[in-house]
A and B are shown apart, each in its own frame.
Chain A
């Protein structure tokens, strides 16, 4: 902490305790956390979901969310005690001296107002600038954040701007009053790797330029390594350890921290295609598809999936990964081409498929929250496919459900009668897997199954999927934008861009150069655990050649901007 002297302390939280109200009692969420932030310092807060990262972030503004209360400790912001300050005093700080950047910019902007009008709201409200001055300032900030067309972009509505640009516009908005402290709550979690870089670079740059202190909340270690001077690791509302970024990465002290660092190490041996003439279990042949009246979303997509193998389909959002899955399941009939299952063509619409054809191909969804009916008990969620396809009843059905729960490593007696909302994210995803298994399929589509989960939990799911593949000989189509996941679980990789397959082949071949330029872009955009990774990358590519801009140049073709 040599860089920061004691008198520059901006935010001093001591022994913070926050309680949440549930089941008619107050239960502690944050159990005595200390935090010290100096001017110009960036502190990374990491931990699994439920560790209390966001709660601490909100508390730094003197804010307790609905159903929570600050029950003890002190929060001192620039010499002002926030826990005892009146609501009016605290409100005066927010927006002007402490700003907040939320996870989903798309959900946080008001869709009914132009971006620049939302930007100028705070400076005008606090009488820092006149409206026109604030607009000029906004344009300057947009330029500094390297938003394309900074003079014009503010006059668009939020839906006319892409996700990465919106997140940068939100950062600009947070900067509008030149606050002393900005709280970034997972600002890049919802973005693709290629877009993430431009946001990261812009945030780091602007925080540096204005010497703003920041709290950067994330569960992605590689990201925090790029951004933070200091890292604090949280677990269940308690601090595990805190150290400077370099020390934290090279020499973590606690076991929990070490386990977090080790997460990305899971890797299973790569399997090769069977050579004895086995037919592929699923074969996508020259498929074109489009949604009603729209442009082609898929353009001549072909790939094969062999029994017992995992094929990862990667690409950024909008590249047609999920649409391919919809074509295979029959939700979206293709306009050209066909899908073969075990050599037999499948009817294009799922309504025309036989029960057995439906049984063979199952799906695991990204959001376990919406994939499981919250009002149905676990026993029925898992039991229904077994009952539906195999006609099991009574004790045979119960036995089958128990068997499946055992298979996904959940204790049957404990979970049999529960409802999905009572489970954690990882447990829900396991139930989703069990539901797919209950149909006894040969082939499962995994649509971003780990992207909504914390790294430790996600690794558990990946290991489980791998074990099930070995035991049951399943074939997986693994849709993901996370290349770390691809590296750990895939046998073959299909890279998609703008609805086309740009490259496919065995994993090792894909991860060794030479790549297709787009694959190269994807690969080099994945944050690494090296704190200098982003700096090096920016030097290599040049600041104007990252994110969407990079996509355009490397692609060589015209990529329509989201406007």
Chain B
């Protein structure tokens, strides 16, 4: 019995007792079940298993602490109205916002943060991490950390541009279809159906092999693939708004379609659209990463998380985690965005669960 094991159990049991004393039932249940799990894990895995649990708990607690502090920080710096909204945010949403904030910083200040250039060969292939290269080197001897930081700028920036374009096209078409109705609505609806009926990845591969793989083409193709979904959502949301009496009042006043869309319908459909934006961003992001993995996305030597996974994929068989780092970066961002979106959906629709 090492000092660590004795300390481990005494801390857990003391904390459990404290939770009981303070009548925090859920905290107690959590702590004590952890204690019981640790018994089993300790017997099966020995001290190292207990150390792993400690590290996981510490990371989890750290993330929770950061989220909590970040939420308070946001509440302090924002306007009173916004602050009240933020107060309702769960810790997961705060965590998501913190991660997005971090990625944004990394993307914007990439040249200053990254110690090396994204195409700069500074070492041998697959060199292990050292003081100079935090995460080691890739198959050409480039610094993985620097490439991850640049990747935040390239991949996320591209996904953002494509999503924004998809939203501008889809939302505009949806709003117009809802306001105009009739044959225009039918035409747009069927047109969207046609695009949606082609599998997105195949459609993207086809278009990219026809038009080449320049950045502009990628953005436009991805936006076209995703705009029908936005169109359908916007049309449904706006469809519920256009039947309201205030729209009738505005029409009877003689207002044009553009005024109706801009001043009457859009303010009443922003909440679901913003939530959808977050969700679509994830899909677009994954599609672009997928395209890069297949070699049709962002072209080398530009750093991109999807292609970084592919290029280093061979290392997985050697038990190295290097290819998993860009994959983890993708996963973390997707999870973070979804946390925020969940909270927004909850606010806008009262969706429970």
Contacts and interface: CB of A to CB of B under 8 A. Distances in A.
B87 A355 contact: no
B26 interface: no
A373 B254 contact: no
Interface residues of B, number: 16
B249 A371 contact: yes
Nearest to A439: B253
B130 interface: no
Most buried by B among A24, A330, A355, A371: A371
Most buried by A among B252, B255, B264: B252
A348 interface: no
Interface residues of A, number: 26
Nearest to A356: B254
A127 interface: no
Interface string B210-251: 000000000000000000000000000000000011101101
Contacts of A439: 253
Nearest to A388: B253
B268 interface: yes
Contacts of B87: 24
B199 interface: no
B245 A365 contact: yes
A371 B248 CA distance: 8
B263 A370 contact: no
A3 interface: no
B267 interface: yes
A353 B84 CA distance: 46
Interface string B328-350: 00000000000000000000000
Contacts of B84: 23-24
A196 interface: no
Contacts of A353: 254
Contacts of B252: 329-331, 350, 358, 363
B267 A373 contact: yes
A376 interface: yes
A435 B245 CA distance: 13
Interface string B317-331: 000000000000000
A65 interface: no
A358 B253 contact: yes
Contacts of B251: 350
Contact of B246 (A23, A330, A373, A385): A373
Nearest to B245: A371
A435 B267 contact: no
A23 B83 CA distance: 12
B170 to A, nearest CB: 21
A360 to B, nearest CB: 11
A367 B268 contact: no
B185 to A, nearest CB: 16
Given A363-B249, A370-B245, A355 B254 contact: yes
Contacts of B264: 373, 376
A70 interface: no
Nearest to A420: B246
A135 to B, nearest CB: 35
A388 to B, nearest CB: 6
A367 B263 contact: no
A365 B249 CA distance: 9
Contacts of A389: 253
Given A355-B254, A376-B263, A435 B249 contact: yes
A483 to B, nearest CB: 25
A372 B246 contact: yes
B245 A374 contact: no
Q: Chain B interface mostly helix, strand, loop or mixed? A: helix
B268 A374 contact: yes
Interface string A425-449: 0000000000100010000000000
A329 B250 CA distance: 12
A375 interface: yes
A370 B268 CA distance: 12
B267 A375 contact: yes
Interface string A377-388: 000100011001
Given A24-B87, A376-B263, A376-B264, A371 B246 contact: yes
Interface in A322-357: 329-331, 350, 353, 355
Interface in B266-319: 267-268
Contacts of B244: 370-371, 373
B268 A375 contact: yes
A254 to B, nearest CB: 37
Nearest to A371: B245
Contacts of A355: 254
Contacts of B249: 363, 365, 371, 435
A374 B244 CA distance: 11
Interface in A367-420: 367, 370-376, 380, 384-385, 388-389
Nearest to A447: B245
Interface in A82-110: none
A509 B291 CA distance: 81
A370 B246 contact: yes
Nearest to B248: A331
Contacts of B267: 373, 375-376
A442 to B, nearest CB: 15
Contact of B268 (A329, A350, A373): A373
Most buried by A among B244, B245, B249, B255: B249
Contacts of A385: 253
A365 B254 CA distance: 17
A178 B36 CA distance: 53
Contacts of A329: 252
Contacts of A374: 268
Interface in B119-142: none
B222 to A, nearest CB: 31
Contacts of B248: 331
A385 B246 CA distance: 13
A371 B263 CA distance: 15
A371 B243 CA distance: 10
Contacts of A365: 245, 249
Given A24-B87, A374-B268, A388 B255 contact: yes
A374 B252 CA distance: 19
A181 to B, nearest CB: 31
Nearest to A389: B253
Contact of A388 (B245, B246, B254): B254
A384 B254 CA distance: 12
A370 B247 CA distance: 9
A286 to B, nearest CB: 24
A372 B249 CA distance: 9
A384 B87 CA distance: 34
B273 to A, nearest CB: 13
Nearest to B271: A375
Contacts of B263: 376, 380
Nearest to A353: B254
B101 to A, nearest CB: 26
B254 A358 contact: yes
A10 to B, nearest CB: 36
Contacts of A350: 251-252, 254
Contacts of A24: 84, 87
Interface of B: 84, 87, 244-246, 248-249, 251-255, 263-264, 267-268
17 contacts: A23-B84, A24-B87, A329-B252, A358-B253, A363-B249, A365-B245, A365-B249, A367-B245, A370-B245, A371-B244, A373-B244, A375-B267, A375-B268, A376-B263, A376-B267, A380-B263, A388-B254
Given A370-B244, A371-B245, A372-B246, 19 more contacts: A24-B84, A350-B252, A350-B254, A363-B252, A365-B245, A367-B245, A371-B249, A373-B244, A373-B246, A374-B268, A375-B268, A376-B263, A376-B264, A384-B253, A385-B253, A388-B254, A388-B255, A389-B253, A435-B249
